[in-house]
Amino acid sequence: MYQRPRRNRKSAAIRGMVEENHIEIAHLIYPLFIAEQANEKSEIASMPGIFRWGTEKVLTEIEECVQLGIKNFVLFPVVPEKYKTKRGDYSYDDQNFYLKVATEIKKRFPEISLMSDVALDPYSIDGHDGIVENGIILNDETLPILSQMSLAQAQAGFDIIGPSDMMDGRIRAIREMLDDHKYDQTSIMAYSAKYASAFYGPFRDALDSAPKSGDKKTYQMNPANKEEAILEGILDIEEGADFLMVKPALSYLDVIHTLNDNFIQPITAYNVSGEYAMIKAASEKGWLDYNSTMVETLLSMRRAGANAILTYHAKDFAKLKKG
């Protein structure tokens, strides 16, 4: 035998020398759920270790994460029922606690990057990402609201706007609104290939944002499709996106790979709530080892071609890495 691949695996030193992919804390984006009550800290039942943070409490949590080396955060609002309307007007209200906390966070931690979520579902009585009329999710009528929400977020200090709604044409509408108001340095991370997935269940529990009727299949992508992800990517880039996202991650590693092959712009993998819940649940039962399973799954996303990874594991990973 002239070739014995095992020779390159014979010690940790040699394995390290030939290792092709790495995960750094710098690649990770940590999601935080924001609640209105300043001192709230309530654990999400289906996501052990993940909490809804009050607007005051979240500041100490971010401080702790920053100490661990985490530099990128995305915020999701837990909107009380009383603020929900058909058109989600609270999303750009100047009293909105989510916008106010973003301003406070950026004031306290100017060095971190802060990403937003743009979609109607947390603010809408219908729980859909767009305006609902007679059971139909209206596309073009939703765009002005998404742009207004994005502008309010840019004004609040968010560095990256994250449209997760999957309406057609929203990246252009948002980019034009931001540029018209001189926010040309505010980035857009487009949820480009966002699938109609069963893996969002725990997130919808966290936010109480599940659709009141119907499903999201008329706007989120069919899990059976890959080529369509390229079309979504082309449109998002043409319309002004800075990053393309694939969501979920684990069942869509091929899509991450395809987008990375086809686009120059960075790809983000969204390692979603259900993927986190599976590993947590199995490890709580003693059926899987948490740390090694976490690292292996994050590595698979990097190997597939993800630059950044949005993941609920970020803090656990940072702790592991720090030892």
Nearest distance from residue 6's CB to ligand PBG, in Å?
A: 39
What is the contact mask toward ligand PBG in residues 4 to 33, using x (rule: CB under 6 A)? Answer: ------------------------------
Nearest distance from residue 171's CB to ligand PBG, in Å?
A: 15
Q: How many CB atoms lie within 10 A of CB 167?
A: 24
CB contact burial 43-56 (16+ within 10 A = b; e otherwise): ebebbeebbbbbbe
Nearest distance from residue 219's CB to ligand PBG, in Å?
A: 9
What is the contact mask toward ligand PBG in residues 151 to 190, using x (rule: CB under 6 A)? Answer: -------------xx-------------------------
Nearest distance from residue 118's CB to ligand PBG, in Å?
A: 8
Residues 278 and 300: their CA atoms lie apart, in Å, by 16
Sequence-separated (6 or more) residues with CB below 8 Å from residue 215:
196
Q: Considering beta carbons, is residue 148 or 262 the nearer one to ligand PBG?
A: 148
Q: Which residues are documented as binding site for Mg(2+)?
A: 232
Confirm or reject binding of residue 121 to ligand PBG (CB under 6 A): yes
Nearest-CA neighbor of 294 among 306, 308, 282, 307? 282
Which amino acid is it at 133?
A: E
Confirm or reject binding of residue 91 to ligand PBG (CB under 6 A): no
Confirm or reject binding of residue 273 to ligand PBG (CB under 6 A): yes
Active-site residue flag, 285: no
Residues 230 and 272: their CA atoms lie apart, in Å, by 21
Residues 131 and 121: their CA atoms lie apart, in Å, by 9
Residues 167 and 237: their CA atoms lie apart, in Å, by 15
Tokens of 162: 């994250």
Tokens of 175: 């980019």
Q: Considering beta carbons, is residue 250 or 304 the nearer one to ligand PBG?
A: 250
- Distance, first Cα to last Cα, the chain: 41
Confirm or reject binding of residue 203 to ligand PBG (CB under 6 A): yes
Q: Considering beta carbons, is residue 121 or 159 the nearer one to ligand PBG?
A: 121
Nearest-CA neighbor of 117 among 27, 26, 190? 190
Residues in 251-270 at the binding interface with ligand PBG, rule: CB under 6 A: none
Q: Considering beta carbons, is residue 168 or 262 the nearer one to ligand PBG?
A: 168
Residues 244 and 269: their CA atoms lie apart, in Å, by 9
Nearest distance from residue 117's CB to ligand PBG, in Å?
A: 5
Q: Considering beta carbons, is residue 217 or 322 the nearer one to ligand PBG?
A: 217
Confirm or reject binding of residue 129 to ligand PBG (CB under 6 A): yes
Per CB under 6 A, the segment of 55-63, 93-101, 196-204, 283-291 that binds ligand PBG is 196-204
- Near ligand PBG by CB under 6 A: residue from 29, 115, 119, 193: 119
From 57, 84, 194, 315, active-site residue: 194
Residues 84 and 91: their CA atoms lie apart, in Å, by 9
Q: Quick one: how far is CA 161 from the chain centroid?
A: 11
Q: Considering beta carbons, is residue 87 or 216 the nearer one to ligand PBG?
A: 216
CB contact burial 219-245 (16+ within 10 A = b; e otherwise): bbbebeeeeebbebbebbbebbbbbbb
Confirm or reject binding of residue 272 to ligand PBG (CB under 6 A): yes
Residues that are catalytic: 194, 247
Residues at the interface with ligand PBG (CB under 6 A): 117, 119, 121, 129, 164-165, 200, 203-204, 216, 272-273
